Amino acid sequence: MTSQTDFQQIFNTAPQTQASAPGRVNLLGEHTDYNDGFVLPTAIPQHTTVSLGFSPDDRHHFYSAELEEWAHFTNHELVPEGFVSYVLGCIRVLEKIGHTVPPLNLFVTSSVPIGSGLSSSAALEVATLRGLRSLLHLDLDDVQIAKLGQQAEIQYAGVQCGIMDQMAASLADTDHLLFLDTRSLDRKLLPLPSQAEILVIDSGIPRSLATSGYNQRRSECEEAARLLGVPALRDVTDPNIVKNLPEPLNRRARHVINENNRVLQALKSTSAEAFGALMNASHASLQHDYEVSVPGLDRLVELLQKTPHVFGARLTGAGFGGACVALVAAERAESIGQNVLSSYTHTGYKGRILVPDLGMV
């Protein structure tokens, strides 16, 4: 079967409902969300669509078009890892708050690249929960959907993630930046800096250590907050305070404090140049203080930063591989992307342009 396969073809009946959610790219505010801090993502054009219907028997029947993978199981059987665990995680979190989810026929198709740091998992969770909201007539708003998606990721995918990705998948659009205070969940849609557009390039480096490295960073931040006597690093604004912390907690905390300050600064800077400078500073901080970059990502970012008409560039998402985001002069993203890619020669890795969406994913 190919990704052209649809629900009708494989289940021999039309779906009862369908829902989609986009991937996201984060412009500024990396590794701040689980510190109650500030983030600035936007939705990307690529999205995940989940089609749903009731199963004719006592088993769930899930199919992923891109992975060409089936899963058939009852509620009592163990399920394989992979896309199924995200979907099942969503079902389980709904059950935990008292909803009954009957056996389902479910079909997933997605253009969000997997493993590039563009939140394919949040897109799947939010699309699944939106689909279940519609199928089962659940009274859930978009913020509740995001929170449930985050719980599914934490409890069933093992990533101690913050709320940014699911909030972006649930509430962002491709025309704005979503400024989000991850503590209060206050948010605002903002325009992109004028005369600028977004370029996202995948480094082609798989995010192999992402889960363990991510969870470790999170506990380092929690320990730093505990030593500083604050509920979360969000509650500190002066980076000099980290002098009182041991290595590497001092650098981890410095990244988070400076990164939160950069997001707040970006809200005030109207020019693409000023915004880009903040992105460059963010990358340096992720590279040296937070240590979530890898040499291939540094090379890609460096190439982008020294290309004319690029205002700024940085790794995006959790790091340890995945994609870089750049803010570039309007109408130039594709040509800049092609030029940078031709110089990006990191043995064995093949980069590709993800945004603008050239339809090659």
Catalytic residues: 165
Q: By CB under 6 A, tell whether 256 contacts ligand GLA.
A: no
Pairing status of strand 60-64 against strand 104-110: parallel
From the CB of residue 99, how many other CB atoms can be counted at a distance below 10 Å? 14
Shortest separation between residue 245's beta carbon and ligand GLA, angstroms: 21
Q: By CB under 6 A, tell whether 34 contacts ligand GLA.
A: yes
Q: Which is nearer to ligand GLA, 161 or 236 (CB)?
A: 161
Q: Which is nearer to ligand GLA, 49 or 166 (CB)?
A: 166
Shortest separation between residue 18's beta carbon and ligand GLA, angstroms: 25
Q: What is the dihedral of CA 85, 91, 97, 99, to 10 degrees?
A: -170
Shortest separation between residue 297's beta carbon and ligand GLA, angstroms: 14
For 64, phi and psi rounded to 5 degrees?
A: -105, 120
- Do the beta carbons of residue 198 and residue 45 sit within 8 Å? no
Q: By CB under 6 A, tell whether 149 contacts ligand GLA.
A: no
Q: Considering just the CA atoms, what is the radius of gyration of the chain in Å? A: 20
- In whole angstroms, what is the distance from residue 11 CA to residue 224 CA? 52
3-state helix, strand, coil in the chain (%, to 5): 40, 20, 35
Shortest separation between residue 214's beta carbon and ligand GLA, angstroms: 6
Q: Is 343 helix (H, G, I), strand (E, B) or coil?
A: helix
- In whole angstroms, what is the distance from residue 84 CA to residue 96 CA? 18
- Do the beta carbons of residue 240 and residue 16 sit within 8 Å? no
Q: Which is nearer to ligand GLA, 26 or 307 (CB)?
A: 26
> Count residues contacting ligand GLA (CB under 6 A)?
12
Interacting span for ligand GLA (CB under 6 A) from 162-170, 190-198, 276-284, 299-307 = 162-170
Shortest separation between residue 259's beta carbon and ligand GLA, angstroms: 9
- In whole angstroms, what is the distance from residue 80 CA to residue 59 CA? 14
Among 22, 37, 162, 312, binds ligand GLA (CB under 6 A): 162
The interface mask with ligand GLA, positions 314-343, x = CB under 6 A, is: ---xx-------------------------
Q: Which is nearer to ligand GLA, 18 or 35 (CB)?
A: 35
- In whole angstroms, what is the distance from residue 22 CA to residue 301 CA? 24
The interface mask with ligand GLA, positions 61-100, x = CB under 6 A, is: ----------------------------------------
* β-sheet with 41-54: strand ranges across: 17-26, 41-54, 104-110, 60-64, 69-73
At 185, the amino acid letter reads L
Among 19, 91, 94, 164, binds ligand GLA (CB under 6 A): 164
Summarize as ranges the residues that interact with ligand GLA (CB under 6 A): 26, 30-31, 33-34, 119, 161-162, 164-165, 317-318
